[in-house]
Every structure is written in C-alpha cells, then in structure tokens.
Amino acid sequence: MTFVNGALFVGARCLSRGIASLIKENGIHHGCVNRVIKASFPWTLATRSFSLGAKLQNVRVQHPAPDFKTTAVVDGQFKELQLSDFKGQYLVLFFYPLDFTFVCPTEIIAFSDSMEKFKALNAAVVGVSTDSHFSHLAWINTPRKQGGLGGLRYPLLADFNKTIARDYGVLIDNAGIALRGLFIIDPKGIVRQVTINDLPVGRSVDETLRLVKAFQYTDQHGEGSVS
C-alpha cells in the first residue's frame, strides 16, 4: 500500500477484498464492488466531504477517560469488559473503521505481534470498532492469508451502538465508523495522550511503546522532557 496520491482508492480495493464475498451473496457482481463501496462509504472518495468529520473535543489530556462497558472478544470468547477492568495498568485504546477492511489487518496484527513488549510494561492493548462481537470473532478466526487476523492476543471491543466512538470523539456520524484514534490512559484512568489519524493511515506500534515508556518514566521520576 501507498499513502501518497491514490491512498484512498487503494483502501477501497482492500475493502472490496474483505466484503466481496458478502456482496456476491446478495447478487452483486464483484466488478461492481468498488462502485458499491463508493456509494456506501463516501470517505473512500478522494473528493470526500468532511461534513462527516468527527467531533474531537470530547476527550482531553489530563482528564478522566470516558467509561465504557461492552462485549468484547477475548481469547476467542465473548466477555463483558469495562474501563475499570484495566485500573492499575496503562491502557492503549485504539479505534479502527471496520473489520475486514483497510489498512487491511496490518496494524492490528502488528499490535498483536508486539504484545509481549506491552505486557513487559504492564500495559494493556484494546481495539475498538463499530462492528459487532460476532464480526470480530469471524475476523479473528479468518486466516491471515485470507484477509483475517489469524488469532489475536488482545481484546476487540464491539461498539455496535457507536457509543464508545462517540464518547471518545472519533465517530464519523454519517458513515457510522470511527477514525483511527489512539488513546493512552494511565493506571488512574486519566488520558495522557491522544492521536487521531485520517482513515488511510495506521498507527505506529514502536511510537506507541515509546510513549508508554516515556509516561511511565515521568510518573516515576517526576515531570520532565523525555525524547
């Protein structure tokens, strides 16, 4: 993938691979997939209008993180999770638009492959999208070679009613999906860092690890500049 010029169009192609079988089941020819995507998801167009833009003022650094409670997929099982379950450790809470879609599953797998590094920092990672927990489980159980996750080492939250995305200020209302937001929440439930990317560009696992380490250092040694 490239994130220069045709980035959004490439994203639509990734999306078409993920949902082509579903569209085919409903009698739509595969060659029409991109047109269906463009009609259904206007944010895939290079000329998209950001009247769809999320309201980003909801969450502020140094303020308590919005609470949540919902069904998640944890180790292949459905389980109720809430923010207080992560009290006493750092939490990396990140949002992505849709299952079976771009930036395909690459960044989600990258976080999963780095879980030992996060655990060594007593940090949890949780992913969120507006899909159902059934969709999450199907994506997790789909092999990577077929566009799935092939297993996952951290929970995926189901935000089907879009409450969590709205509370965290990343919901694109008209599209019903979330921007690629990432929130670092400390052991006391305070938001320490916010990153919100446009849809085509994922987050850096290495940068996220660096930030968690930096906040933990300042927690222990006092405020100061940490590169």
CA–CA distance, 12 with 191 (Å, rounded to integer): 33
CA–CA distance, 158 with 108 (Å, rounded to integer): 15
Whether residue 92 sits in one domain with residue 108? yes
Least confident of 55-69, 86-100, 157-171: 55-69
From the list 142, 167, 140, the residue with the least C-alpha distance to 73 is: 140
pLDDT of 45: 36
From the list 45, 56, 23, 3, the residue with the least C-alpha distance to 179 is: 56
CA–CA distance, 14 with 90 (Å, rounded to integer): 32
Which pLDDT band holds residue 226 (cuts at 50, 70, 90)?
Answer: low
Whether residue 62 sits in one domain with residue 20? no
pTM beyond 0.75: yes
Whether residue 167 sits in one domain with residue 120? yes
Share of the chain above pLDDT 70, in %: 72
pLDDT of 101: 83
Angle, helices 205-221 vs 106-113, to 10°: value is 50
Give DSSP secondary structure letters for 198-221: -TT----HHHHHHHHHHHHHHHHH
pLDDT of 25: 41
Q: Is the pLDDT of residue 67 over 80?
A: yes
CB 107 within 8 A of CB 199: no
Whether residue 189 sits in one domain with residue 137? yes
Number of domains in the chain: 2
Whether residue 191 sits in one domain with residue 177? yes
Whether residue 166 sits in one domain with residue 132? yes
Range of the domain at 40: 7-48
14 catalytic, yes or no?
no
Q: What is the pLDDT of residues 91-143, one digit of tens each?
A: 999 999 999 986 658 899 999 999 999 999 999 999 999 999 999 999 999 99
Whether residue 16 sits in one domain with residue 73? no
Whether residue 110 sits in one domain with residue 89? yes
What distance lies between CA 96 and its chain's CA centroid? 3
CA–CA distance, 111 with 68 (Å, rounded to integer): 21
pLDDT of 15: 43
β partners of residue 157? 72, 128
Which pLDDT band holds residue 10 (cuts at 50, 70, 90)?
Answer: very low
Q: Is the pLDDT of residue 171 over 50?
A: yes
Whether residue 127 sits in one domain with residue 23? no
Q: Is the pLDDT of residue 35 over 80?
A: no
Query: What one-character DSSP code corresponds to residue 175?
Result: T
Q: What is the mean pLDDT of the chain?
A: 80
Q: Is the pLDDT of residue 75 over 60?
A: yes
**What are φ and ψ of residue 95, in 5° steps?**
-110, 145
> Could you say which of 7, 36, 104, 156 is catalytic?
104
Strands of the sheet containing 191-197, edge to edge, are 77-82, 69-74, 156-158, 123-129, 90-95, 180-185, 191-197
Tokens 């089941």 sit at which residue?
A: 25
CB 14 within 8 A of CB 104: yes
Q: What is the mean pLDDT of residues 49-65?
A: 68
Q: Is the pLDDT of residue 223 over 80?
A: no
Give domain status of residue 1, yes or no.
no
Whether residue 188 sits in one domain with residue 108? yes
Distances from the Cα of 80 to the Cα of 72, 73, 77, 124, 143, angstroms:
6, 9, 10, 16, 25
Q: Is the pLDDT of residue 192 over 90?
A: yes
Give domain status of residue 37, yes or no.
yes
Q: Is the pLDDT of residue 7 over 50?
A: no
Whether residue 65 sits in one domain with residue 44? no
Q: What is the pLDDT of residues 88-105, one digit of tens each?
A: 999 999 999 999 986 658
